Amino acid sequence: MRRIGLAFSAIALVLCATTASAQSQTSAVEKLYILNCGEGTAGDISRWSPGVNEGKSMDFVDTCYLIKHGQDWFLWDTGITDAVAAMPNGLAPADPKAVTWRRPKTLAAQLEQIGVKPADIKAMGVSHTHPDHIGNVEMFPQAMLYVQKAEYDWPGTNNEPRFKPSHPVELLSGDKDVFGDGSVTILSTPGHTPGHQSLLVKLSKTGAVVLSGDAVHFRDNWDNRRVPSMNADKDQSVASMQKIADTLAKEKGQLWINHDKAQRDGQKLAPEFYD
């Protein structure tokens, strides 16, 4: 009897261990949507890769990401302003080497298509405060904004604040586990701007994904660890790329590069999603 009892205990232990490991694979993030937040043409991509690609033009995309965690919706980056959708020739930059942005789809229309109202977004994060990332922040005046203090305090043109002072904000000094369960983590990755940040998302089937922000702009620059010319701090940028690489190795994750059209062309866009 005792031997049978032990055998049962052993089986029970194995079953418990199996259940526990299955549960550890399940993430509280149900869905990750990729939203088209702009399409553009860069006049001269040597701007992002000093000394290489002189005079070479390249198509860019601008990407936002919407995460469903339990009953909560979390938006990462807001893209170029939806107002650009009404500009037939797009929004031309002051420097012709930079990106002319177009808006074939608005952020508002894509949220509507998946049945999400702007008021449903309870929290959001932006990678940094360049206009192609914060263009629609005030579409969500109620949403708690997660931003690094170094970015928030960085003076804008004519010393203007980077965000509307009335917008609810949580100022960060480093990484932030957004939901307290390790499923969505803001990674402090300064360099491109003083308080630049990236996002680690853990999905049940897809696995771990790091959303780059503008820590890197396209694949070839990632492979060669190139830092753009218009950048706040080169050493910080190099260190942040290493931090992302270490995170990818630890989590066996994929890097999704915000502006990389070649990569995004191979991905599912909203209303499809990753889980």
Q: Which residues bind Zn ion (CB under 5 A)?
A: 132, 214
Closer CB to Zn ion, 218 or 273, in the complex: 218
Are 29 and 68 a contacting pair, CB within 8 Å? yes
Cβ at position 243, least distance to Zn ion in Å: 19
Closer CB to Zn ion, 31 or 47, in the complex: 47
Cβ at position 209, least distance to Zn ion in Å: 18
Closer CB to Zn ion, 214 or 260, in the complex: 214
Cβ at position 52, least distance to Zn ion in Å: 19
Closer CB to Zn ion, 93 or 207, in the complex: 93
What is the distance between the alpha carbons of residues 79 and 73, in angstroms, rounded to a whole number?
A: 17
Using DSSP's 3-state secondary structure scheme, residue 175 falls into coil
Cβ at position 80, least distance to Zn ion in Å: 9
Cβ at position 13, least distance to Zn ion in Å: 51
For every residue of 11-60, DSSP letters joined together read HHHHHHHHHHHHHHH--SEEEEEEEEEEEEEES-GGGTSTTSSTT--EEE
Closer CB to Zn ion, 82 or 214, in the complex: 214
CA angle, residues 56, 57, 63, in degrees to nearest 5: 130
What is the distance between the alpha carbons of residues 199 and 8, in angstroms, rounded to a whole number?
A: 45
What is the distance between the alpha carbons of residues 210 and 152, in angstroms, rounded to a whole number?
A: 22
